[in-house]
Amino acid sequence: MDATLIRQLVWLDYRLALLFVFLIPFGLLIWALRSKSEAIKRSLLLYWRVASLVLITIYLAIGSLGISYISGIVAAILIVFALWFWQDLNEDIEASHTSLKPIYLGWRWATTVYCFLSVVFRLLFSNCAFMNDAQLSNICKIWFEPPLSFSTTFHNGFPVENLAFIGAVGGIVYMLYLFSFLAFSLPKTGRIAFRD
């Protein structure tokens, strides 16, 4: 593939992530909190726990760490699971009669499609995760451009090594929490997010 096309697609992926993974769900969460839509609010709070891996991925990519290729793929997969996995929340959302429901459901489907396409696209470059800095091609380095732009905008003058360290610590905490959930909480609760 042409480097210019790949650059455009990578930037499009990051812009769509900003829209579907951050801006829309943030607006939906505010709406759910104000309209007291409990099921949607609980679903979005669970979503934000999972989606925090996207921010961790950005900080890892700021430091040009190869693991960011894998964490980006894992983040998209976990987001889809967070949106559809919980049986009690899905039933409560279906039974709710709020004006937020059709917008939430539309966003959930759109985000699922986006995440699927993003995973497929990112898998094409997953081999970049296993290369050291000297081996990284210019195509692989394109994936670091949007996070570096984010760094320049929000952390201008802050060393990228420190931001990458923050991402690495966040990733370790995230993985410990995820493994704890998978080993202890999930076997007890199954597909029920909230027990009375």
170 located within any domain: yes
196 located within any domain: no
Residues in CB range of 72: below 8 A, 6 or more apart: 54, 57, 61, 118, 122
pLDDT tens per residue across span 94-149: 998 889 999 999 999 999 999 999 999 999 999 999 988 777 788 899 999 999 99
Mean pLDDT of 21-30: 97
- What is the domain count for the chain? 1
195 located within any domain: no
194 located within any domain: no
pLDDT tens per residue across span 40-92: 999 999 999 999 999 999 999 999 999 999 999 999 999 999 999 989 889 99
What value does the mean pLDDT of the chain take?
A: 93
The pLDDT value recorded for residue 164 is 95
114 located within any domain: yes
The pLDDT value recorded for residue 196 is 46
Structural domain of 29? 3-189
Tell me how many helices (H) and strands (E) the chain has: 10, 0
Asked whether 45 and 83 are in contact (CB, 8 A), the reply is no
127 located within any domain: yes
Q: State the Cα–Cα distance between residues 122 and 102, nearest whole angstrom.
A: 30
Q: Where are the alpha helices (DSSP H) in 96-191?
A: 101-123, 138-142, 145-154, 160-180, 186-189
pLDDT tens per residue across span 148-167: 999 999 999 899 999 999 99
Residues in CB range of 190: below 8 A, 6 or more apart: 87
How does residue 189 score in pLDDT terms, banded at 50, 70 and 90?
confident
The pLDDT value recorded for residue 187 is 87
Q: What are phi and psi of 99, to 5 degrees?
A: -70, -15
How does residue 195 score in pLDDT terms, banded at 50, 70 and 90?
low
Count of C-beta atoms within a 10 Å radius of residue 120: 11
Cβ-in-10-Å burial (0-12, 13-18, 19+) of 133 comes to exposed
Asked whether 105 and 43 are in contact (CB, 8 A), the reply is no
Which of the two residues, 196 and 140, has the higher pLDDT score? 140
